[in-house]
C-alpha cells in the first residue's frame, strides 16, 4: 500500500499505472463530494487547511484525510507557510494522465496497424499462390 502515498508524477504513472489504475487514482480522488468541494474552493485560489475545513461540513481530521487523497492524486500540492499548509491546484496534475492516455492509444493503434500489415501480407501471398 506504500505506493498509494506516492504523488501522481509522470514517472510514477508510466512505471506503475496501467489500464484501470489511472482511472482509479483520479476517480478515487474525485469520487467523493467533499473532495470535489475542496477542489471547487481551490479553483478560487490557494487556501490553508483551516479555510478549506470551513468550506466543507466534515471534521478537521476528515479534511486532512481528503487532502491526503487529493495530494496523492497529483491534483493539489501544498506549501508550508509558517505553521500552516497552504493548498493549491497543481496545473501539472493533469499532464501525467494525458501522457498516459496518449501512450495507451498509441500502443493500441500500433498493434492494430501491425495486424493490418500482417493481414495485407497474407492477402498478397494468397494472390501469388492463386493468380487470377
Partner 1 sequence: MTKSRTTLAPLRKVVTVPATPQRAFELFTAEMGAWWPLRTHSVGKDAAAGVAMESRVGGRIVETLADGSTSIWGTLTAWEPPHRVAFTWHPGHEERHATDVEVLFSPAGDQTRVELVHTGWERHPGTEGARREYDTGWDFVLGKYAEGVAG
Interface contacts to partner 1, rule CB under 8 A? 18-20, 23-24, 26-27, 29-31, 36, 39, 42-44, 75, 89, 91-95, 97-98, 101-102, 104-117, 119-120
> At closest approach, how far in Å is the CB of 82 from partner 1?
25
Cβ of residue 125: shortest distance to partner 1, in angstroms? Answer: 14
Smallest distance from partner 1 to CB 48, Å: 18
**Minimum distance between the CB of residue 84 and partner 1, rounded to whole angstroms?**
21
DSSP the chain: -GGGGS---HHHHHHH--HHHHHHHHHHHHSSHHHHHHHHHHHT--EEHHHHHHHSSS-HHHHHHHHHHHHHHTSEEEEEETTEEEEEE-GGGSHHHHHHHHHHHHHHHHHHHHHHHHHHHHHHHHHHHS--
Question: Is the Cβ of residue 11 or residue 99 nearer to partner 1 in the bound state?
Answer: 99
82 vs 126 by CB, closer to partner 1: 126
Amino acid at each position: 500500500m506504500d505506493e498509494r502515498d506516492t504523488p501522481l508524477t509522470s514517472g510514477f504513472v508510466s512505471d506503475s499505472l496501467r489500464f484501470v489504475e489511472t482511472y482509479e487514482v483520479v476517480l478515487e480522488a474525485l469520487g467523493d463530494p467533499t473532495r470535489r468541494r475542496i477542489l471547487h474552493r481551490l479553483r478560487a485560489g490557494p487556501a490553508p487547511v483551516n479555510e478549506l475545513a470551513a468550506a466543507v461540513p466534515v471534521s478537521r481530521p476528515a479534511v486532512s484525510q481528503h487532502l491526503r487523497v487529493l495530494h496523492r492524486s497529483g491534483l493539489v500540492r501544498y506549501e508550508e507557510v509558517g505553521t500552516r499548509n497552504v493548498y493549491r491546484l497543481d496545473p501539472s496534475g493533469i499532464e501525467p494522465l494525458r501522457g498516459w492516455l496518449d501512450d495507451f492509444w498509441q500502443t493500441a493503434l500500433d498493434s492494430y496497424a501491425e495486424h493490418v500489415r500482417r493481414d495485407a501480407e497474407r492477402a498478397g501471398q494468397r494472390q501469388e499462390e492463386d493468380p487470377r
